[in-house]
Amino acid sequence: MKIDPESNADLSAQIAQAIRDAIVSGDMIVDERLPSESELADQFGVSRSTVREALKRLAAQSLIRTQRGAFGGAFVNRLCYHDAYGQHITTSTLLLSMNDVRFETACEARYAMERACAPLAAQRRTPRHLSMIRKEIERQADAALSDEDFCASDVALHRALVDAAGNPVLSYQLAGAVEAMQPLMNMITFTARSRGEIVRLHSALLEALADRHAGRADTALHALESYTMTLGRDVLAARARRTGAP
């Protein structure tokens, strides 16, 4: 592991990249111990503070973990699904909120990916998945539910659909898309009428899964997408009217 003395990037960034490369390439394996901070400082010819900044960068990406005390140190971390979820959700949420992504674009992406799960979910769903979805539908039928809780329940329902596909990689990939949509969804004010329609569409999805009918699940998701789009467009139009003619 070497750094380029010609580069004008921060030393701590270069060192972090060198170690990151070693981990990603498989040169360093899971649970392998890195040299101590002092040793790394000697190896790279920098001070300990610079090494520490590099290690903190890696820790922020869950690439290493540190342990104090004798025989402690920094170890290559096994990236678990849970940590990866967290990273993905944070990144996706910020990406959407900072880049003026249109509601339609995010919505389209989300439902496209969920439809990818539908055939697998119809085939592999267990009674537990069905009951989780049913529970959320019942919550959503409760008129006392706040808009935020309604959206949270919506996320939980879609999360259950994704998990029903029984593919952890798919769950991980879609978690970002579904969770990151929540702030955009929260902007929709759900009327009693629209809630009723959504519950109806969710129920159709549930029945399709219960019957292991992939085609009807796909249709239900298409209907949900187009109805959600309509709601979103109405909100945006109303907002435009307010700001356009105040």
CA torsion angle for 125, 128, 132, 134 (degrees, to 10)? 80
d(Cα 150, Cα 153) in Å, to the nearest integer? 5
Task: Return the residues of window 18-57 that contact its own copies according to CB under 8 A.
Answer: 20, 23-24, 26, 30, 49, 52-54, 56-57
Residue among 21, 30, 38, 126 that touches DNA (CB under 7 A): 38
Q: Which is nearer to its own copies, 140 or 176 (CB)?
A: 176
Asked whether the beta carbons of 224 and 208 are under 8 A apart, the reply is no
What residues form DSSP beta bridges with 73? 67
Nearest to 33 by CA among 7, 68, 71, 3: 71
d(Cα 212, Cα 118) in Å, to the nearest integer? 10
Residue among 143, 144, 169, 245 that touches its own copies (CB under 8 A): 169
Q: What's the min distance (Å) between Cβ of 13 and its own copies?
A: 8
Q: Which is nearer to its own copies, 12 or 140 (CB)?
A: 12
180 alpha carbon, distance to own chain's centre:
6
Tell me if 246 contacts DNA by CB under 7 A: no
Rounded to a whole number of angstroms, the distance between the first and last alpha carbons of the chain is 62
* Segment contacting its own copies by CB under 8 A, of 90-98, 146-154, 193-201, 233-241: 90-98
Tell me if 109 contacts its own copies by CB under 8 A: yes
Residue 72 interacts with, from its own copies, DNA, none (CB under 5-8 Å by kind): DNA
Task: Return the residues of window 48-107 that contact DNA according to CB under 7 A.
Answer: 48-50, 52-53, 55, 66-74
Tell me if 9 contacts its own copies by CB under 8 A: no
State residue 64 phi and psi, 5-degree precision.
Answer: -135, 160
The DSSP output letter for 190 is P
66 burial level (CB within 10 Å; 0-12, 13-18, 19+): middle
Residue among 28, 34, 46, 96 that touches its own copies (CB under 8 A): 96
What residues form DSSP beta bridges with 92? none
Residue 187 interacts with, from DNA, its own copies, none (CB under 5-8 Å by kind): none
Tell me if 7 contacts DNA by CB under 7 A: no
Give the long-range contacts of residues 213-216, CB within 8 A, separation 24 or more. Answer: 213/122, 214/118, 214/119, 214/122, 214/123
Residue among 3, 19, 41, 92 that touches its own copies (CB under 8 A): 92
Asked whether the beta carbons of 46 and 15 are under 8 A apart, the reply is yes
Q: Which residues bind its own copies (CB under 8 A)?
A: 12-13, 16, 20, 23-24, 26, 30, 49, 52-54, 56-61, 63, 78-81, 84, 87-88, 90-99, 101, 105-106, 108-109, 112-113, 115-117, 119-120, 165, 167-170, 172-174, 176-177
Which residues sit at the interface with DNA, rule CB under 7 A? 8, 10-12, 34, 36-38, 45-50, 52-53, 55, 66-74
